[in-house]
Amino acid sequence: MADALSDLGAHIAKKAGDALDGYNIAYGELNIEARAGQIVELMTFLRDDPECRFISFIDVCGVDYPDRQERFDVVYHLLSPARNTRIRVRVTTDEETPVPSITGVFPGADWFEREAYDLYGILFSGHHDLRRILTDYGFDGHPLR
């Protein structure tokens, strides 16, 4: 399995080019380090490329590392039923720089991007309805920071 994941990582790195900062295999899954500004193009490639076919969007979540300059990770999980393989894609951002929304590629990301915004304050550009989803509209702050 590790060889297949390594081959897939090499294929993605070759085809996606500068959209990636690197990849590794951990816990039996392929992990992609991506550039936030090219996340839409990368997600489209992962969905449409015949070698990948990551057509099943699982989720998007935020992770906060307050001591880092780019304190947030935005982590995407995808599944390729054709390959029976999961992939994790990670981008980093700060409190002010929005990550492009992937709702045009995976409409199911809508709720998850809103959740990351509400709970962490992670901004998503191009999201059609980026507003609170779990806390009250009058709530001040982001509870998971």
Q: Which pLDDT score, from 0 to 100, does residue 1 have?
A: 66
- Dig out the tokens for 136 from the structure: 């009250």
Q: What whole-number distance in Å separates Cα of residue 108 and Cα of residue 129? A: 13
For residue 42, what is the enclosing H or E element?
helix 39-48
How do residues 52-105 score in pLDDT, each as one tens digit? 999 999 999 999 999 999 999 999 999 999 999 999 999 999 999 999 999 999
Question: In the 8-state DSSP scheme, what is residue 136?
Answer: -
In this prediction, residues 31-38 reach a mean pLDDT of 97
Report field, pTM of the whole predicted structure over 0.85: yes
Neighbours of 4 (CB within 10 A): 12
Give the pLDDT score at 137: 85
| pLDDT reading at 2 higher than 80 | no
Given a contact cutoff of 8 angstroms between Cβ atoms, the answer to whether 89 and 78 are in contact is yes
Beta strand 29-34 pairing with 56-64: unpaired
Say whether pLDDT at 120 is over 80: yes
Q: Is the pLDDT of residue 141 over 80?
A: yes
